[in-house]
Structure 1
Amino acid sequence: MVAFALNPIRMLRGILTASLLSLMSLEVFTTAVLSKPPAASVETKLKVPSTMAYAPFNTSRYLKVPPNFSVSVYARINKARFMAVAPNGDLLVSQPSTGKVLIVRPNGNKDPIISDFVTGLRKPHDIVFHKIENTTYIYISETHQINRFIYKSGDLIAKNRQIVVTGLPDSSTRELKGSYGHELKNIALDANHKLYVSIASRCNACKEDTVSTPKRGAIYQYNGNGTNQRLFAQGLRNAEGLAFLPSTNDLWVAVNNRDNIAYPFKDNSGNYGKIIPSYVDNHPPEELTRVRDGGNYGWPFCNPNPDTSTGVNNMPFDRDYEFNANGSVNCNAMDRISKGIQAHSAPLGLTFLQNTKFPSLYSSGVVAGLHGSWNRQKKTGYKIAYFPWNSTTKTLEEEMDLVNGWLVPATQEVWGRPVDMAVDLQGNLLISDDYSGTIYKLSYNYGS
């Protein structure tokens, strides 16, 4: 009788335990599903003020965005490149073609007010606000040097200029004889007030950059005042986007990789050493990678291979046929690339969304501006890519589109090329476009 009486209790315990485990599994599953934000899926008409409705906005334009987002034209700035939001909400925008950095100020419901913040620079490019002790600086890169200006909230023009780094190579450098394909400079500063400067390659691929002084295809570190230059990392052909993972000193970069790569495999295809368009289309991938002190990321001797079991994650290297066919450079000794992006996408700006007011579903991730291809049989890029950040593994998860539509697939028409992104104080994502000359505003519609 005792045994008979216990059985229902055991059965009830079993049912409750199973139910509890099912609920826990459901919770984990639901959390996992909900934690992945939706990608761009809604074709949305671009909102354009009548004062800005000139080409390419003299006809209706559409961008694909995630649900509950809208997108509008915020300002028109010819050949707008990199951006930074000031502590008071003003927006600085570089315009290398005119030697200016512009300031864009909100103006209520009217068009923003655009004026010159600083002029007379040599192709200014990247802009970073950085506070050291009680002083806020604006660092602005030129092709040949790095400046910083002391900033006070509300400043409308640059003041108290200090030139902190000089002698950077550009097209005026004697040995380069007026030719430097990637002379624009990108910068970042870490929590210890160290300044990082990307010195990109002068070429598609060449050995000369690896033995020049300073090395090109490299990143150098300085103190915030420009002293104590040292090589930080190399083998990075053209690191455009430099950004630190918030609350860390982990430097991440977006890299434009080489073009017209020769087929590197001695297989039965007969393609060894040839330029095969179908291979060039997808090789080597562009790079989005964490950069360590002392790292070497392979260029121009080793190219990341996206065709193994790990796909675009932590990619092994192939020997470059042109510069390393005999394996004189050990590709196994190179630092692997964290994440690959479709070849020829041309990633430029890189912006982490942590510690911003961008919608929380997306605020643990990073966005990259994919400027778009010029030498691929079928065009690629022309969009804002989003990578969720996995805080457990400290890796980037699968790429998804946040905004696309600047390339019209059916016609292959291109009407915009995104460059950089910045989050304003209200949580909107501002996007620069140097092709149409536009600053867009991507906004989340709360309550919709």
Structure 2
Amino acid sequence: MNSLIVKSVLFAMALLIHQFAAAKSNLDLLKVPAGFKIELFESDVPNARTMVLGTNGTLFVGTRSEGVVYAIKHNKRYIIAEDLNMPNGLAFRDKALYIGAVDKLFRMDDIEARLDNPPIPTLIRDDLPSETHHGWRYMDFGPDGRLYMAIGAPCNVCLKKDYAVIRSMKADGTDERVEARGIRNTVGFTWHPVSKKLWLSDNGRDMMGDDIPPDEINRVDEFQEHFGFPYCHGGTIADPEFNDLSCRAFTPPIQALGAHVAPLGIAFYTGKQFPKAYKNRLFVAEHGSWNRSKKSGYKVMMATITGSDEDEKVTKYEPFVTGWLQGQKAWGRPAYVLVLKDGSILISDDRAGAIYRVSYAQ
């Protein structure tokens, strides 16, 4: 038994070393538009996913498979919480880091001053939906000060109460309500910097073929707006099983994406370092397909949005960073995008266990 444990540990260590080496050795494969530069920001962040910034510039990084939350400050990496159940959800407010881990919501007070000796996370709630299928949370504080949280459908396609929604609550976990419905699995949302409307990514259902249904970018215009799941996919495709309601009853996506590209994190560009044309463009991390016969996604895309309020529309959707997919082999998977205070952006990669920084050479 001991020899098996040793072999397992050695295998895990070898796998991690291989992942870290992949980010360094393959960095030159990543391509960005002319004038931009991509570099390795951090190479030792296994399963790096969600990223949020603290008030004092600390970068907090959530994970799905590692069960830990990292903090990065002055080129030093800390593990500030561990043994959690898929702590993908992170949000920061009033010197406190909030952590969403499936059915539990935690808070770590004054965490930036306690990185060397982090406190045990304070449990706020332990009664959130407990299904682990699509149970990795995404959450953020909205312009209204409420904490928004995604509750993914616990299945490929099904109709189950309390799931496939975005909820919001007060920071203390009370006064919970549903903000939007019919959303199969969103693990990325944000608010438009001008209109303040909620935009979100959504991963479409599987097992309908290589090319349908499309994944989606949606915009919430009304309270408890319904985006179709499980009845309608991509705004026009009726589900073969749940088809008793017309697609006309639901809100179509503001941008249909490729099937199975798996959009995760999205972020509007609000910095000043990039050229002016990039202002308020939407970056989308396409994590990449897992069951398509020919792989798709594995890139960071960029949406150009024109108009205002009800007239907002996506007029262009194009690649911004490519190269994680070489032929049919993917050495990395972009997960989330974060705009830094200096105007550069960070991109997390949960396969290579790395974080990249994209800057513009002014």
Q: Decide which of 387, 402, 408 is 2:303's aligned counterpart.
A: 387
Distance 1:300 1:78 in 2: 34
TM-score (norm 1): 0.71
Residue 284 of structure 1 is matched in structure 2 by: 213
Cα distance, 1:375 vs structure 2: 1.9
Counterpart CA distance in 1 for 2:84 and 2:167 is 22
Residues 170 and 401 of structure 1: CA distance in aligned 2, closer, same or farther (over 3 Å): same
d(CA) in 1 for partners of 2:135, 2:213: 22
Contact 1:83 1:126 (C-alpha < 8 Å) held by counterparts:
no
Structure 2: gaps of 5 or more residues: 1-18
With over 3 angstroms needed to count, the CA separation of the structure-2 counterparts of 1:53 and 1:234, relative to structure 1, is closer
Asked whether the 8 Å contact 1:359–1:427 carries over to 2, the reply is no
Letter in 2 for 1:101: V
CA deviations 1:114-172 (Å, max 9, x no partner) are 11122332221122223xxxx3332221111222333365542655854333311224x
Write out per-residue CA displacement over residues 379-405 of structure 1, whole angstroms, 9 at most, x where no aligned residue.
Answer: 110000111222443223311111001
SS at match of 1:322: coil
Rounded Cα–Cα distance in structure 2 between residues aligned with 1:391 and 1:440: 31
What is the aligned partner in structure 2 of residue 425 from structure 1? 341
- Deviation, 1:245, is 1.5
Distance of aligned partners of 1:96 and 1:59 in 2 relative to their CA distance in 1, 3 Å threshold: closer
Alignment of 1:16-55 (within 5 A): 54-55=21-22
> Aligned partners of 2:142 and 2:264: how far apart in 1?
20
Q: Report the equivalent of 2:56.
A: 88
Q: Which residue of 2 aligns with 1:170?
A: 130
Say if 2:271 and 2:343, in contact at 8 Å, map to a contact too: no
Residue in structure 2 matched with residue 407 of structure 1 by the alignment:
325
Alpha carbons of structure 1 residues 97 and 69: separation in structure 2 relative to 1, 3 Å: same
1:189 corresponds to: 141
Match of 2:286 among 354, 370, 382: 370
Query: Is the CA contact 2:20–2:354 (under 8 Å) kept in the aligned structure 1?
Result: no
Counterpart CA distance in 2 for 1:359 and 1:92 is: 27
Q: Secondary structure at the residue paired with 1:55?
A: helix
1:61 to partner: Cα distance: 3.5
| 1:322, distance to aligned residue in structure 2 (A) | 1.7
- How far apart in 1 are the matches of 2:165 and 2:228? 11
In structure 1, how many angstroms separate the alpha carbons of the residues matched to 2:196 and 2:125?
21
What is the correspondence of 1:122-141 to structure 2 with a 5 Å cutoff? 122-130=85-93, 135-141=94-100
- Cα separation, 2, equivalents of 1:251 and 1:53: 35
Cα shift readout 1:292-338 (whole Å, capped 9, x = no counterpart): 3111111111122xxxxxxxxxxx423211221xxx22321112221
Q: Which amino acid aligns with 2:312?
A: K
After superposing the two structures, state which structure 1 stretch, 241-250 or 225-234, moved more.
241-250
Deviates more, 1:162-171 or 1:285-294: 162-171
The answer for the alignment partner of 2:70 in structure 1 is 102
1:439 CA drift (Å)? 0.7
Ranges in structure 1 where 5+ consecutive residues have no aligned partner: 1-51, 107-111, 172-179, 262-279, 305-315
C-alpha deviation, 1:53, in angstroms: 7.0
Contact 2:167 2:178 in 1 (8 A): yes
Contact 1:85/1:423 (8 A) holds in 2? no
How far, CA to CA, are the matches of 2:20 and 2:130 in structure 1? 37
How far does residue 72 in structure 1 lie from its aligned partner after superposition? 1.1
**Aligned residue for 1:71?**
38
Q: How many residues align?
A: 339
Q: Superposed, which structure 2 residues align to 1:243-392 within 5 Å?
A: 243-261=190-208, 280-291=209-220, 292-304=222-234, 316-324=235-243, 328-354=244-270, 357-392=273-308
- Is the Cα contact below 8 Å between 2:37 and 2:361 reproduced in 1? yes
CA contact (8 A) 1:151 1:159 kept: no
Q: Name the CA distance, whole Å, in 1 between partners of 2:258 and 2:145.
A: 33
Distance 1:153 1:359 in 2: 32
User: 1:332 aligns to what SS in structure 2?
Assistant: helix
Q: CA 1:152–1:216 in structure 2 vs 1: closer, same or farther (change >3 Å)?
A: closer
Query: Which structure ranks higher in relative contact order (CA pairs < 8 Å, sequence separation ≥ 6)?
Result: 2
Bigger Cα Rg? 1
